[in-house]
A and B are shown apart, each in its own frame.
Chain A
C-alpha cells in the first residue's frame, strides 16, 4: 500500500485526521482535550513530516514518534501557537526569542558539520541543508525547509473556489498547470459536471507543455552542475522556445490562469510543425550529450537511490521512476489512448533521472500531437455543492494531491501535497556514497520545489 498524505481538520470539538493511501482513505477523530494520535512513521517513513506539520498546525500530539521537533515553525516562531485551528485569527506575529533547532547530526572523531542556506549561492529558492561530514564524504544530510511558508492553507479558508483560483495557480510557479488541473477536477466534482473531451485534451496538452519546459530547463542545469555549461546554453534555449509557446497559447509564460473551461482556437498545423521541430532538437540533444564520456562519469552512480528505499519512503515522480518504481498519475485509459508510455530506469542515480527526463520530453511531444484538436467547445460551471473533494495530477516533479472541503459555499479546509513533500524526505538517502561536491548535482537531478513543499 502506497502512503500518499496525512493531514488534520479542525472540526469543532474534535480533530479529524485523514490518511490517504493509493487504495483507501482512512479517517480518525480525536478529542481536542486529549489530541493524541499514534505515528505511522514506523511503517511509512514519509509520514513523519506530515505528522510534525500537524503538531505545529494544530497542536496534535504524536505518540511513539522518533522525531517530535517542530517542522514549519522555525527558531523565532512564537511557541504554542497552532495557526490552523479555527480559533486562530491573528494576521500578524512578532518574532519571538530565538530557540535553537536541534539538528540531526552524526558526531565522532574528526566529523564536522556544514550548514548551507537558507540563502544559496545561485538563483534558487531558500532552504537549509545540514551535513555531517567526514572530510569530503557526506555521512548524513538533514533537509530543513519551510522558509517560504506563506500559510496558503489558512489564506484560502473562507474563500469561494473562484476566489481561490489565482492563489492556487501561484503556489508553485513551475507546476502551475498541474495545480490548476487538480483545482479543475475538484471544481467539476463539486458542480457534478463532466469535462468535454476537447477541453480535457487542451488541458492535457498544456500540462505536457509545462512538463517539457521544466524538464528542458533541468536537462540544461544538471550537466551545468557537473561543469558542462554548453548543455545549459542549449537546454535553456529550448526551454525558452517552449515557454514562448506557452505564452502564445495561454497569454502567460507560466500558464497562470490557463486552465479555464473555454476552448480556444489553435492553429493545429503550425503546432504539429513546432512539435516536430522540438522533437528533432531534443533528439539531437540526446545524441550529442550521450557522446560526452566525461559528463557521464559524473552522472553515473552519483546520488544513488535504491528501489527498496524509494518504496520505503513512498517516493513519487521522476525520482521514483528513475529507481524503477512505476508510479505515474497518467497511467490511465485517457493518457494510454493518446500514446502515454511510462518512462523508467533502474539505476536510480543522477544519470537515470536525467535519462528519464529526456524520454519523458519525447513521450510528451508524441502525446501532444494526439491532444491537438481544433474544437471550440466550452463548459459553464453550475453551482458548487458542499462536500469533501480530492484530486490528483502528475506535475513535472511528480504526483500532486489536493483536497478541498467546501462548507456553505466557501473553502473550509484546503490541503495540497506537492510531490516534493515526499521526495525531500528521501533526498538524504541519495548522499550516502558521495562527496559534498556532488550535492548540488544530486539536488538538481531531483529538482524539487521549495514553494510547493512549504505552502
Chain B
C-alpha cells in the first residue's frame, strides 16, 4: 500500500480542464445556484443506451476518470431512473429498446428533462433507417438539449451539460 501512496503523492492532482476552467469559474456560481435551487444541490443523470455503438457510453465513463472528475461539479450518474432529474439518451432508439426507454422515462419523477447524447439519437450518425430503428428520439420524447458528436468527447459532454443548465 505504501507503494501506492508514494505514487499517489508523486502524481498529485490530475484533474484538468484548462479549456473549461475559466468558463467553469465564471459560471460555477451560476451552476451552483441553479443546481441548488432546481436540483437540491446535485444534478442526477440516468444514462440510457437505446442502441449505441458503446463509444458514447465509454466517453461518459471517461467523465469520471481523474482528468475530468465530473462529480466535483455536483453532477452524478445514478443507478435508477427514480433517482434522476435528467435522462441522458444515447443510441439509435432501436425497435427492441423503445418500450424500455419509454418505461425508464416514466419512472423519472417530475420535473424531468431529456438530453440526447451523440449523433445517433438524432439520426445524424452514418447509420441509416431500417425496420429495427425508431429514431429520431424526438418522435417519442420531448428533448430539451442535444449534445452533438460521434462520439462527443468528455469535454464536449461537460460543455453540453453546462449549456443545458443555462438553458433551463
Q: How far is the CB of B156 from chain A (nearest CB, A)?
A: 11
Q: How far is the CB of A92 from chain B (nearest CB, A)?
A: 6
Q: Establish whether residues B130 and A154, one from each chain, have CB atoms under 8 Å apart when the complex forms.
A: yes
Interface residue? A2 (CB, 8 A): no
Interface residue? B75 (CB, 8 A): no
Interface residue? B20 (CB, 8 A): no
| Interface members, chain B 42-95 (any A CB < 8 Å) | 47-62, 64-67, 77, 79-81, 91-92, 94-95
Q: How far is the CB of A213 from chain B (nearest CB, A)?
A: 9
Q: Establish whether residues A125 and B47, one from each chain, have CB atoms under 8 Å apart when the complex forms.
A: no
Out of A91, A171, A253, which one reaches B53, CB within 8 Å? A171
When distances are taken between beta carbons in the complex, the residues of chain B under 8 Å from A172 are 53-54
Interface residue? B29 (CB, 8 A): no
Task: Bin chain B's interface residue count.
Answer: 35 or more
Interface residue? B22 (CB, 8 A): no
Q: How far is the CB of A372 from chain B (nearest CB, A)?
A: 26
When distances are taken between beta carbons in the complex, the residues of chain B under 8 Å from A176 are 53, 55
When distances are taken between beta carbons in the complex, the residues of chain B under 8 Å from A90 are 131
Select the stretch in B31-39, B96-104, B108-116, B160-168 that faces chain A.
Answer: B96-104
Q: With A and B bound together, what is the CA distance between A126 and B132 in angstroms? A: 15
Q: Please, what's the 1-or-0 string for A134-169, where 1 marks a CB less than 8 Å from any CB in chain B?
A: 000000000000111111101100000000001100
Q: Establish whether residues A123 and B54, one from each chain, have CB atoms under 8 Å apart when the complex forms.
A: no
Q: Please, what's the 1-or-0 string for A214-235, where 1 marks a CB less than 8 Å from any CB in chain B?
A: 0001000000000000100100
Interface residue? A121 (CB, 8 A): yes
Q: Establish whether residues B96 and A217, one from each chain, have CB atoms under 8 Å apart when the complex forms.
A: no
Interface centre among A118, A121, A253 (most CB of B within 10 A): A118
Interface residue? A239 (CB, 8 A): yes
Q: With A and B bound together, what is the CA distance between A91 and B55 in angstroms? A: 26
Out of A92, A147, A237, A254, which one reaches B14, CB within 8 Å? A237
Q: Establish whether residues A174 and B58, one from each chain, have CB atoms under 8 Å apart when the complex forms.
A: yes
Interface residue? B121 (CB, 8 A): no
